[in-house]
Amino acid sequence: MNWGWKTIIEPFKIKSVEPLGFTTRQERERILREAHYNIFNVKAEHVLIDFLTDSGTSAMSAAQWGAMMNGDESYAGARSYYNFENAIKDLTGYREVIPVHQGRAAERILFEIIGGRGKYSVSNSHFDTTRANVEASGTVAEDIPVKEALDFEKTLPFKGDMDIKALEKFIKRKGAKNICICIMTVTNNSLGGQPVSMKNLKAVSGICRKNNIPLFLDCARFAENAYFIKLREKGYAGMPVKNIAREMFELADGAMMSAKKDAFANMGGFIAMNNSEWAQKARQNLILTEGFRTYGGLAGRDLDAIAVGLKEVLDEKYLQYRLRSTEYLGRGLKKVGVPIVNPPGGHGIYVNAQKFLSHINPLHFPAQSLVCELYLLGGIRAVEIGMLMFGRRDGRGNILPGEVELVRLAVPRRVYTQSHVDYVIEVFARIAKNRKNIKGLKIVEAPKVLTHFTAKLAPL
Ligand code: F0G
């Protein structure tokens, strides 16, 4: 990449725009009160900058919209399906491709086939819907990230890696035949959007193959991970990202993808693999709840949008801009005194709320308090990754502080410009100055399942 300038520019121009949701402070106070201090209850039109998720929120390209108009909506054998299948085969090299409506459907189907009581799934970190689907099948989900992943201060190139020694110990302890799958989440969303190195992937692959444990990638953000490898790992600087991605897929036996991330699609996903017996079972399961094997719960136009998106995401000018713009947000926050998970991740910045709001008792939801303050002051929507989301409970049902208390600012792809990010940094600077005035929250109502989506809170 010979761009040669310090300023990394957005590698696109904008043809179609949407207005932002401007509100007054007074309105936001009312909106937040009516939302019971739960940001999931706020209407999107009342949000100015929406960093809730990078999932399904991408701006599609003109080429994607064009492909959508060509979508073939035939029930069986639609042209759109073959475009989709070819794009995935070309990317991954896997023989079997199964469309699903989003990532969690892939998880459900896979674990209904391979999971069950007495079995284990081991991962660098299961994403929360993955864990939920693993557990729903009766399987135990075990996370073994490298220890450094939980040291938020330390800057290391590949904090998404799996702890190899711990993997070997785990296999010895549980018995290889009881481990139905190993999942490498690339990048590791639950622990800061940190990448996995090829070296680590090779080591995990070697161990899995020796022990006959199938290895799958949760590849929602595979292109971001591949570009991190290009930037940070010896021997990959000169390799096209497409080849790096292919090497990653070749080390595994299959992949699940939520196409709502790196495929720039608003909806969709897939399972891809070489095991035709599993694929057969997956297709039988698919038809029960998702749809016929050539659409899997998606419209033909969605399949076409994904097919185009999977090619576009390999554009290295885009990936350079993508990772640099997330890093720009991270650096800006650090400059104004906001502690983040280091180094900046691929798809977002994770603020260490416990450290930032150390005056708030850990029982009083520091991360959710910061989420509310961001909305009140700046109309910014972020998401709590802390006790509300992971909500361990004591014997009386009270929610306890967990291992992490973070606020994630997930950056939608190709949606916001640098001035939007500068504004977010300015809001954080003001919050940093007055942070001692931020008060904690208490629970008013907290359903036991999916607490963070539905809980009602109130200021102390
Ligand atoms: N795997 C990873 C690594 C994810 O980040 C997600 C979704 C899924 C699987 C599930 O995919 O949403 O299409 O069903 N992550 C979103 C997020 C929700 O905000 O991080 P899905």
pLDDT in tens, 381-405: 999 999 998 877 888 888 888 788 9
Residues with CB under 6 A from ligand 1: 53, 55, 102-104, 127, 129-130, 185, 189, 218, 220, 258, 260, 269, 410
What residue's CA is closest to ligand 1, atom 9?
Answer: 103
pLDDT in tens, 194-229: 999 999 999 999 999 999 999 999 999 999 999 999
The whole-angstrom separation of Cα 84 and Cα 297 is 14
Cβ-based neighbour number of residue 232 at 10 Å: 15
- Chain center to CA of 247: 21
Fold of the CATH domain 25-54+315-459: Aspartate Aminotransferase, domain 1 (3.90.1150)
Mutate to test the pocket of ligand 1, among 58, 109, 129, 264 (most ligand atoms within 8 A of CB): 129
Contacts of 144-150 with C-beta under 8 Å, sequence gap 24+, read 144/170, 145/188, 145/191, 149/125, 149/188, 149/191, 149/192, 149/194, 150/191, 150/403, 150/404
Confidence band, pLDDT 50/70/90 cuts, at residue 314? very high
Q: What SS3 state is found at 445? A: strand
State the pLDDT at residue 397.
81
User: How many angstroms separate the alpha carbon of residue 29 from the centre of ligand 1?
Assistant: 30
- Domain ranges, ordered by start, for the chain: 25-54+315-459, 62-312
Dihedral, CA atoms, 128, 134, 137, 141, nearest 10 degrees?
A: -110
pLDDT in tens, 29-80: 999 999 999 999 999 999 999 999 999 999 999 999 999 999 999 999 999 9
State the pLDDT at residue 447.
85
Asked whether the predicted pLDDT for residue 304 surpasses 80, the reply is: yes
- Percentages helix, strand, coil for the chain, rounded to the nearest 5? 45, 15, 40
User: How many angstroms separate the alpha carbon of residue 330 from the centre of ligand 1?
Assistant: 22
Q: Is 304 a catalytic residue?
A: no
User: How many angstroms separate the alpha carbon of residue 258 from the centre of ligand 1?
Assistant: 6
Asked whether the predicted pLDDT for residue 380 surpasses 90, the reply is: yes
Mutate to test the pocket of ligand 1, among 131, 185, 188, 189 (most ligand atoms within 8 A of CB): 189
Choose, from 128, 203, 311, 315, the residue flagged as catalytic: 128
Asked whether the predicted pLDDT for residue 449 surpasses 80, the reply is: no
State the pLDDT at residue 4.
83
Asked whether the predicted pLDDT for residue 257 surpasses 60, the reply is: yes
Please, what is the Cα angle at 410 between 128 and 32, to 5 degrees? 90
Q: In residues, how long is the chain?
A: 460
Choose, from 62, 63, 75, 90, the residue flagged as catalytic: 75
Choose, from 261, 272, 295, 364, the residue flagged as catalytic: 261
Do residues 160 and 341 make contact, with C-beta atoms less than 8 angstroms apart? no
Rounded mean pLDDT of the chain? 96
Mutate to test the pocket of ligand 1, among 124, 219, 258 (most ligand atoms within 8 A of CB): 258
User: What residues form DSSP beta bridges with 459?
Assistant: 441
State the pLDDT at residue 376.
98
User: What residues form DSSP beta bridges with 381?
Assistant: 50
> Which residue is it, tokens 């709001």?
357
What whole-number percentage of the chain has pLDDT above 90?
92
User: How many angstroms separate the alpha carbon of residue 140 from the centre of ligand 1?
Assistant: 20
Average pLDDT of the segment spanning 157-183: 98
Asked whether the predicted pLDDT for residue 2 surpasses 70, the reply is: no
User: How many angstroms separate the alpha carbon of residue 188 from the centre of ligand 1?
Assistant: 11
Atom of ligand 1 nearest to the CA of 188: 3
State the pLDDT at residue 400.
81
Average pLDDT of the segment spanning 164-178: 98
Mutate to test the pocket of ligand 1, among 51, 100, 121, 261 (most ligand atoms within 8 A of CB): 261
pLDDT in tens, 174-200: 999 999 999 999 999 999 999 999 999
62-312 matches 25-54+315-459 in CATH topology: no
State the pLDDT at residue 88.
98
What whole-number percentage of the chain has pLDDT above 70?
100
User: How many angstroms separate the alpha carbon of residue 127 from the centre of ligand 1?
Assistant: 7
Confidence band, pLDDT 50/70/90 cuts, at residue 309? very high
Question: Does the pTM of the predicted model rise above 0.95?
Answer: yes
pLDDT in tens, 280-290: 999 999 999 99
User: How many angstroms separate the alpha carbon of residue 102 from the centre of ligand 1?
Assistant: 8
Which alpha helices (DSSP H) does 213-344 contain, by range? 222-232, 241-251, 276-289, 300-312, 316-335
Q: Is 54 a catalytic residue?
A: no
What's the Cα-to-Cα distance from 206 to each of 141, 200, 225, rounded to whole Å? 21, 10, 20
Q: Is 75 a catalytic residue?
A: yes
What residue's CA is closest to ligand 1, atom 8?
Answer: 103
In terms of pLDDT, which residue wins out, 5 or 248? 248
Which class in CATH covers the domain with range 62-312?
A: alpha beta
The whole-angstrom separation of Cα 317 and Cα 320 is 5
Confidence band, pLDDT 50/70/90 cuts, at residue 1? low
Among candidate residues 247, 51, 234, the one with its CA nearest the CA of residue 157? 234
What residue's CA is closest to ligand 1, atom 10?
Answer: 103
